[in-house]
Amino acid sequence: MERYTKWIFLGFLFVAACQSKVDENTLKAIQVKVKRDAVLDSIYSSFDYRPIWLVSDGLTDKGEQFVEALEDVEYDGLQKTDYFNEDMHGLLAKIQEGGKPEDIARLEILMSNKFLKLSKDLHMGKVDPSQFSETWKIDRKESAASLEVLLKEIGLGKTGSVEDVLEELRPKNTLYGQLRDRLKLVLQTQQENPENIEAIVYEGKLEVGDSDAVITQVRERLASLGYEEVSSEEPSRYDEKLEDIVKCFQARHGLMDDGVMGQDFWHAINLNNQDLTVKLKVNMERLRWLPDFSKEDGPKVLVNIPNFYMDYVEGKDTVFTTRAVVGKEYHQTPVFTAKMSYLVFSPNWTLPQGILWNEVIPAIKKDENYLKDHDMMVVDLDGNEVDNRKIKWGKLRQEDTFPYYIRQRPSDENALGRVKFMFPNPYSIYIHDSPAKALYDRDQRTFSHGCIRIEKPADFAAKLLASEKDWGTDSIAAAMGRDEEKQVNLKQTPAVWILYLTAWNGKGGFQVREDIYDNDIKLAKLMGEPVSRYYF
C-alpha cells in the first residue's frame, strides 16, 4: 500500500512539473524550503508547491511582471533594490544558464518574501509609525486585504497582472497620487539634468529696486524650479516682474507673500531637488500610514500643523479657513484624530500642571499680585474658591502635593480667549480663541503649549452652529461676552484630523512647508534617505 501511495505521489509531481515547466527535483526543493516557513507553506500548499515566479530556465510571466513592476516603485518613494537585490540578480543569471533546483527554490522563496514586503510597504508604509515619533498618535491603518491571500491568488492564477495587484494596494487618497506624480516629474528632471547647484548665500533683505549680484542667482534658481523665467536688461536688479515670481514662490512655501527676500526666503530657495525628493518620499510614507480621511462621511476639521491653518470641510468643499497657531518645538502639537462634540463660550481656563509649576507658581513667588493682575483664582478640588493669601507660596516645591487648581476667569485676557472647541482626547488638546492676535501675522506660528489657536473663532462657531436657529451672529457674540461659561453640544460632530504634511498639491499649485518639528528629517533617517544641511 505504501509503495502504491508513493507512485501516486510521484506521478502527481510529474504532472505538476510538466505544468510548471520545472522538474521533480525542483518541486521537491521548493517544498523542502517552503516547509520551513509556516506562512509560505500555507500559501504554496494550496497550489501543490508549484513555483509562482520561476521556471527551469528563468522567470514565468508573473515573475517578469514582478520585476517590471519594480521599475515604478521609485515613484512611490521606495527603492527597487529592497525587493530585488544584486544577490537575487545573480541567482537569476545562474538559473537562466541552467541553474540547480536549489537555486530555483531559493530565488522562488526570496521573490515571494520580497513580494509580501513590497505589498506591505506600499499599502501600509515602510516604517512603523509607533516607533517613529512620540507625537504621532494615529494608529497605522489596517490592511484592506490579506497580503498572504493576494500571493496565494497570484499562485492560483486568480488575479490580473502583478502591476494590477500592486496598484490596488497603493493608497487611494488623492494627495498620494498627486505626490507620486510630482516625485516622478522631479526624478525624471534629475535624470535629464543632473544638478550641481550651490546654495545661495546672502545676509540681509532685498526688496524691489535693490541691486545685487545674488539677484541674478535668484532668477536662475527660480527658473530651474519651474517658475516663469523673467528676462531683464539688468538681471542683478530686483524689478517688479521678478517680485511677482518671488511672491508666488513665497505663497507656495507658506511664507508671507510680501516680495521681500529675507531669511525665510533664503532658507526656502535652497531646497534642492535631492531634498525635495526626500520631502515627497516622507510625506507619501505618512499617507501610507493613514486611512483615507478625505473619503470619510460628514464634515471634517483639518489642521495641518506645518501649514498653520485650520480648514473646515463639507463634502469635497473647504467652506471655512482660518490662520492657526500650533505648539512650540518643545511643546509639539500631536498628530491624532477625534470627534468634536461641543464648544464652550466664555470659558474658564484651568491651568495644566506643567504651566502651573514651570511658569505660574514661579511668577507668583516673584509678584504677590500676579493672580489678581491676571484675573486668576485658586479653587479646591471641588471647584470652591480658596483664599490664596493663606497659601505659603514661597515654600512650595514641585514634588510637594498641591491640593488646588488655579483657574483664570472668563475675560478678553483669558488665555483661551472667548470660546474653545472640544474634541475629547487623551492629550488635552483642543482648538480655542486667543488674546494674542498679533501672532497670526507671523510666517511661522509655533507659540502654543500644544493646543491650536485660531484667528477667527466666532466665524468658526457660526459654521458649526449654522443649522441651529438659536445661534446667529448676535447670540454668538453675546455668548462670547459672558462672565460665566456656556457649553453648547453639537448635533453634528465633525471628525477632527490633526496632521503633519510638508508637501501637497493645493489650489495655488504645489505646496511645500518647513519641517518645523524635524519630523521629515527623523523619518528620512529611518527610511535610509539622506538630507542636506539646507533641508527646509
pLDDT level of residue 195 (50, 70, 90 thresholds): low
- pLDDT digit string, tens, across residues 106-130: 999 999 999 999 999 999 999 999 8
How far is 297 from 146, CA to CA, in rounded Å? 25
- Cell 500571493 locates to 151
9 pLDDT more than 80: no
Closest by CA to 495, choosing from 210, 297, 239, is 297
Report pLDDT for 64. Answer: 97
Residues labelled catalytic: 432, 451
For residue 297, the model assigns a pLDDT of 80
- Condensed to tens digits (0 to 9), the pLDDT of residues 205-252 reads 999 999 999 999 999 999 888 888 877 889 999 999 999 999 999 999
Q: Residue 421 pLDDT more than 80?
A: yes
In the sheet with 385-386, reading across from the earlier edge strand, the strands are 349-350, 404-408, 376-380, 385-386
Which pLDDT value is given to residue 196? 64
What is the distance between the alpha carbons of residues 160 and 353, in angstroms, rounded to a whole number? 58
Which of 486, 518, 487, 488 has its CA nearest to residue 502?
518
Distance of CA 514 to the CA centre of its chain: 13
Is 103's pLDDT higher than 80?
Answer: yes
- Phi-psi region for residue 528, left (φ > 0), alpha (ψ -120 to 50) or beta? left
For the chain, give the mean pLDDT. Answer: 91
Tell me the pLDDT band of 372, cut-offs 50, 70 and 90: very high
Cell readout for 345 is 463660550
The pLDDT value recorded for residue 21 is 67
Task: Please determine, for residue 274, whether its predicted confidence score (pLDDT) is greater than 80.
Answer: yes
